[in-house]
A = this chain, B = another copy of it.
Amino acid sequence: MTQHTPLKKAPSRHGNDRLMKLQHFLKQDNLQGFLVPKGDEHHGEYIAPYAERLAWLTEFTGSAGLSIVLESQAVLFTDGRYTLQAAKQIDPQSFDNENLKGEKSVIAWLLDNADSGCKIGFDPWLHTEQAIKKLETACAAKKIEFVPRSPNPIDEIWTDQPAHPTAEIEIHDVAFAGYSAQDKLADIINTLHDKQAQACVLTLTPSIAWLLNIRSTNSGYLPAPLAFAIVKHDRTVELFLQSTNIAKEVIAHLGERVVLFSKARFAERLSSLAQDHKQILVDGKSCPFLVTHLLTTEGVKIIRGEDPCTLPKACKNSIEVQGARQAHIKDSAALVSFLAWLQQKVEHEKISEIEAQEKLLEFRQQQEHFVQPSFPTISSAGPNGAIIHYSATPETNRVIDKEDLYLVDSGGQYLDGTTDVTRVVTFAPPSSEQKDRFTRVLKGHIAIAQAKFPEGTTGQQLDILARYWLWQDGLDYEHGTGHGVGSYLGVHEGPQNIGKFVNGSTPAPLKPGMLLSNEPGYYQAGAYGIRIESIVVVTETEITGSSMLGFETLTLVPICLDLIEVNLLDQHEKEWLNDYHTQVREALLPLVDGPTQEWVKRETRAVL
């Protein structure tokens, strides 16, 4: 699954009011402009309500965007996915809507619209130093100055801004995590030594959750507390939380080496850190401007590198892999129970997309260790399936027609693992075009699933395997083939992925224990969507005396046989499909009720 944003109903058109308040505030503050990005100080995927400053200002609720407010005008930049949504949501008299094609479009707009020598404010928590430097360099000719402003002016005028969440901190048991926080910390300290750093600053919440074996479930789909951390080479950790009022058991779990502070004291502690730690590692891609700027001012030599938790977090240990297997079996049992129920219901009743997804959640909630969904469910019938980031709302909610292809992309957070699965089913004979497209997507899915590759291979090299049979017919899909998946953490995580190479990026070699989605698709706008998504784990295997890597598919849900044009499959593909369906039967039949067993048996019959 990819990122999701619910479409707001109808703009209430108070954008103009808020915009004028902000402009008035800026004037008093001697600023001629201000940057309002989508995002919070952790630069993660989901943000809490208090950080929805862009939505508050513009009414635009998409998952990515940037507003620039000047003295007498304002603009909202959104990418191609959100052009239509933004047009519906924003007040066109207050905001121009521009297409965000990287930094270039922002810079061009600033050079065209901002006055020479003007001062533009930004919240130093919400931008990286690199991003601000690029703006400064590009706008130097016009002498435009970028000025950090904290607290954020919007926080000063947003009277009913929600409070920062003070989520409860939970211990992530070592029975699920595999390694203790002490062991992980020792590893990270080694990385610091290797990089000649005396400390590192962690601002990515999944890294902190992983390192300290803690979780928090009140902050949306990602069960990580909104924390900062400083890790020092003497093996002590400073942990910054919204509230330090946490359970005794958690304090005991964290141990003496972890010192708790309120988030409000983070900047002060960074200054203190800088007194006797002169070489500090930060993640250049996500570390807030404020942090790097403060450390530099204190004479620290910043070592820019990847967050040191990112790679070990991505390479799941054997306990985590075993947990992922279990979580996926349970999750698959819930999904097949739902699909069996749905087929029965669609025959006789009018079931809507929203009713369907509510029922699916019920099935998941019956599974052991289930905590919450891992992302907003995409329950989409017919043409809604062609909207890649669809989420059913009362306005779009469609009754699932027997003639519709039904696409459901959903996942769960379980204590033992994070799941994400997409299947498409049909309740009536599909068109030959639909079967052709589905089978091409399946051929790509199988080519990835059974690929073997040497160490050092990246997901960029594998990507074409998923697209080959679509490309052969002039077709493609406009999203990646696979994203990394966490272990009771983010359903999207790096560095691993499977996708087209993006110039300037550093592809990450796939390593044993990494979890990835395998999700090629095809979308026929206005008609139907197809996506076959399972989670795979990278495994090591020896073939003909060579050590090779490969994938084990963890998701065990039937792939709709009625949608397959069997003549398009070769012998290897048929064998893969039959083997897969045999695994599905063996894993799920003991776990589901009678009618679901019948459904599973029918849906996993051998293909000849």
A residues within 8 Å of B by Cβ? 447, 450-454, 457-458, 460-465, 468, 471-476, 500-501, 503, 506-507, 542-546, 548, 570-572
Task: Tell whether, in the assembled complex, residue A475 and residue B507 are in contact, meaning their CB atoms are under 8 Å apart.
Answer: no
- Starting from the known contacts A451-B468, A452-B473, 4 additional A-B residue pairs (CB-CB under 8 Å) come to A460-B461, A464-B465, A472-B543, A475-B546
CA distance A571 to B544 in the complex (A): 27
Taking CB atoms, residues of chain B closer than 8 Å to A471 are 451-454, 548
**Least CB separation from A467: chain B residue:** B453
Least CB distance from A163 to B in Å reads 46
21 A-B pairs (CB sep. < 8 Å): A452-B471, A454-B471, A457-B464, A461-B461, A461-B463, A461-B464, A461-B500, A461-B501, A464-B464, A464-B465, A465-B465, A471-B548, A472-B543, A473-B543, A474-B545, A474-B546, A474-B548, A475-B544, A475-B546, A503-B507, A570-B572
Which residues does chain B contribute within 8 Å of A465, judged by CB atoms? 464-465, 468
On whether the beta carbons of A460 and B501 are closer than 8 Å, the reply is yes
In the bound complex, CA of A109 to CA of B464 (Å): 41
A542 to B543 Cα, complex, angstroms: 40
- Does the CB pair B452–A474 fall under 8 Å? yes
**Which of A472, A473, A548, A570 has its CB near the most chain B CB atoms (within 10 A)?**
A472
Chain B residue nearest in CB terms to A572 = B570
Taking CB atoms, residues of chain B closer than 8 Å to A507 are: 501, 503
Contacts of A451 on B, CB cut-off 8 Å?
468, 471-472
A500 to B507, CA, bound (A): 12
A548 to chain B: which residues have CB within 8 Å? 471, 474
Query: Distance (Å) between the CB of A528 and the closest chain B CB?
Result: 16
Question: Within 8 Å CB of A452, what residues of B?
Answer: 471-474
* Chain B positions within 8 Å of A546 at CB level: 474-476
Write the nearest CB–CB distance from A477 to chain B, whole angstroms.
Answer: 11
In the bound assembly, the distance between CA atoms of A472 and B507 in angstroms comes to 22
CA of A592 to CA of B474, assembled, Å: 39
Q: Which residues of B contact A571 (CB under 8 A)?
A: 570
Bound-complex Cα distance A308 to B500 (A): 27
Separation of A503 and B454 alpha carbons in the complex (Å): 16
Specify the chain B residue showing the minimal Cβ separation from A543: B474
A570–B503 alpha-carbon span in the complex (Å)? 35
Rounded to whole angstroms, the CA-CA distance of A472 and B11 in the bound complex is 55
Query: In angstroms, how far is the closest chain B Cβ from the Cβ of A458?
Result: 7
For residue A390, give the distance in angstroms from its CB to the closest CB of chain B. 24
| Separation of A472 and B476 alpha carbons in the complex (Å) | 25
Complex Cα gap A464–B454 (Å): 11
Cβ of A330 to closest chain B Cβ, rounded Å = 31
Q: How far is the CA of A544 from the CA of B570 in the complex (A)?
A: 23
Bound-complex Cα distance A574 to B472 (A): 17
Residues of B within 8 A of A457 (CB): 464
8 closest Cβ contacts across the A-B interface?
A: A474-B543, A474-B546, A474-B544, A570-B570, A452-B471, A461-B464, A452-B472, A474-B548
Residues of B within 8 A of A458 (CB): 501
A472 touches B501 (CB 8 A): no
Chain B contacts for A464, CB-based, 8 A: 453, 457, 461-462, 464-465
A479–chain B nearest beta-carbon distance, Å? 14
Q: Report chain B residues within 8 Å CB of A570.
A: 570-572
**From A547, which residue of chain B is reached at the shortest CB distance?**
B474
Chain B residues in 8 Å Cβ range of A500: 461
Residues from chain B with a CB closer than 8 A to the CB of A545 are 474
Contacts of A461 in B (CB 8 A): 460-461, 463-464, 500-501
| Whole-angstrom CA separation of A548 from B468 in the bound complex | 12
Of B468, B473, B506, the residue contacting A544 (CB under 8 A) is B473
A571 to B569, CA, bound (A): 10
A548 to B450 alpha-carbon distance, docked (Å): 27
For the complex formed, measure the closest distance between the CB of A456 and the CB atoms of chain B, giving whole angstroms. 8
Which of chain B's residues have a CB closer than 8 A to the CB of A544?
473-475
- For A473, the chain B residues whose CB sits under 8 A away are 452, 543-544
In whole angstroms, what is the CA distance A545 to B468 when docked? 17
Shortest C-beta distance, A239 to chain B (Å), equals 35
Which residue of chain B lies nearest to A453 when distances are taken between CB atoms in the complex? B471
Q: Please name the residue on chain B nearest to A461 by beta carbon.
A: B464
Q: A294 CB to closest chain B CB, in angstroms?
A: 30
A228 CB to closest chain B CB (Å) equals 32
**In the complex, residue of chain B having the shortest beta-carbon distance to the beta carbon of A450:** B472
CA distance A543 to B473 in the complex (A): 6
User: Which residues on the B side are within 8 Å of A572 (C-beta)?
Assistant: 570
Q: What is the CA–CA distance of A453 and B469 in the complex, to the nearest angstrom?
A: 10
Residues of chain B lying within 8 A (CB to CB) of residue A472 = 450-452, 543
A530 to chain B, nearest CB (A): 15
Task: Specify which chain B residues have a CB less than 8 angstroms from the CB of A506 in the assembled complex.
Answer: 503
In the complex, how many angstroms separate the beta carbon of A281 from the nearest chain B beta carbon?
21
CA distance A542 to B450 in the complex (A): 31
A478 to B475, CA, bound (A): 33
Distance from A79 Cβ to chain B, minimum over Cβ atoms (Å):
18
Q: Smallest distance from the beta carbon of A376 to chain B beta carbons, Å?
A: 30
A450 CB, nearest partner CB in chain B, Å: 7
B460–A542 touching, CB < 8 Å: no
A566 smallest CB distance to B (angstroms): 13
Give the distance in Å from the alpha carbon of A226 to the alpha carbon of B476 in the complex.
46
A570 to B574, CA, bound (A): 12
Given the complex of chains A and B, what is the CA–CA distance between A311 and B199 in angstroms?
47
